[in-house]
Amino acid sequence: MLAVLDRTQATAHYLTRYLHDTDRMGKTIVFCENNDHAHRMRVALNNANLDMVERYQNYACRITDADRDPGKALLDECSKINSDEPVIVMTSRLLTTGVDLPSVEDIVIFRRIGSMPLFKQIIGRGTRLCLEAHKGSFDIIDFVEATRLVNDPAFDGPPLRVINDEVDEQGIRVVSQEQAGEDDAEQVAETEAEYETQEEGPLPDGPARLQALTTEDDDTADQIMAQGKRIYVDGMEVYVWNDVHYQLESDGRTLRLVEYREFVRDRVLSMNLPPTDPRTQWAVARSRAALREELQSRAVEADDLMAELGHPEADPLDLLINAAWELPLVSRAERALRVQREHQQFLESFGPKARVVLDALLDKFTEHGAEELSARALRVPPFTKMGNVIELGSLFGGRDALHEAIDDLGRRLFDVG
């Protein structure tokens, strides 16, 4: 899949001009292709609306599953009819169902949609009447021709009006056509393409070529993009289905093809450490940062391990050890459960309220990984509902005692393989 990044800028400028003409404070949801696309769209819209960003810090923001608790807090604000911000929300799939946003005035579709149920779910975010916000209708702004599904007999009915705008590279409208809402079209236009017809016969022998895949199934496309690596080349976004790694031999000239797992193993083993040492370093926030830097110096990114090796249920440290020393893979949930089962005395040495904090940290670790094992994690829900960092520290006997308790929890999580 290829996506021209300049299109994001043009879309942001067009949408900004549209809001200038309608209502710059009209709540708007932009459905993007994925979380990264939503991030780039947020940046582009913030840059195009600097005057509004100065007045409203969260004028245009991203709310996806990757934004975790801060994103949920923004979503709660957006759902309030009388809230001023956020105004423009970028998302991918998080807001398609199960979210009540009655005052949304604009639904922007900037992602492919191949199914009628998904299309209805997306536009369903705007279908609620909201008399308190003087909303009696909503607009769909479609950049990917998803509204072709309106012509499908399975759809519920025609729109009130349809406006087709053509824009230039800067997102400026150059042609605008309005048509009646009733549309009896039974087929949609297909994008033009150039074809070269050749004589039939067997394919010639030769090296394998890149295989192009065309699919209208949303789940299939999502699986490809989730497994592929995203790179940027001259303003284009490219998804790589597979990649290979070459290792420079000791002669300084020979390149040897290696699997990624083998590449990681060789890099880690070159550190001349037993498997217990990385566990000890990874358990504590300060030494974990140092280990990350050491791995980066050897071209191993800890956060890339899940994408490259799979197993999202495991912590990057366990993937690292599994690749280097072939020790059994342990999930984060298994590590947390073992602490609760085998370290009861440690957990019960704290007061009831402090124990609640430690249990919540274990839940955070199970869900997101070892980066949650730090005092910084206490600045977001659910910890903020328990008190501020100073108040939470007092449950443990002070700030230093709090840090030591978190470090001790990490050591017990990673004390064995």
pLDDT in tens, 104-126: 999 999 988 878 888 888 888 88
Q: How far apart are CA 247 and CA 239, in angstroms?
A: 23
Rounded to an integer, the average pLDDT of 90-96 is 77
Q: For residue 188, what pLDDT band results from cuts at 50, 70 and 90?
A: very low
Instruction: Give 36's contacts (C-beta < 8 A, 6+ positions apart).
Output: 230
- Rounded to the nearest angstrom, the gap between the alpha carbon of residue 315 and the centroid of all alpha carbons in its chain is 18
pLDDT digit string, tens, across residues 243-261? 556 665 666 556 667 778 8
Which CATH code, of 3.40.50.300, 3.40.50.720, 3.90.1420.10, 3.40.50.1260, is assigned to 2-180? 3.40.50.300
- The predicted structure's pLDDT at residue 260: 82
pTM of this structure: 0.45
- 146 close to 33: Cβ distance less than 8 angstroms: no
Rounded to an integer, the average pLDDT of 143-149 is 84
Is 239's pLDDT higher than 50? yes
Q: Answer whether the bond into residue 312 is a cis peptide, omega within 30°.
A: no
Is 264's pLDDT higher than 70? yes
Q: For residue 190, what pLDDT band results from cuts at 50, 70 and 90?
A: very low
Share above pLDDT 90 across residues of the chain, in percent, rounded to a whole number: 42
Amino acid code (one letter) for 362 = L
Q: Which of 216-225, 272-281, 334-343 has the lowest mean pLDDT?
A: 216-225
Residue ranges covered by each domain of the chain: 2-180, 246-325, 332-413
pLDDT digit string, tens, across residues 321-330? 999 999 999 9
- The predicted structure's pLDDT at residue 361: 96
- The predicted structure's pLDDT at residue 192: 39
Q: How far apart are CA 59 and CA 67, in angstroms?
A: 16
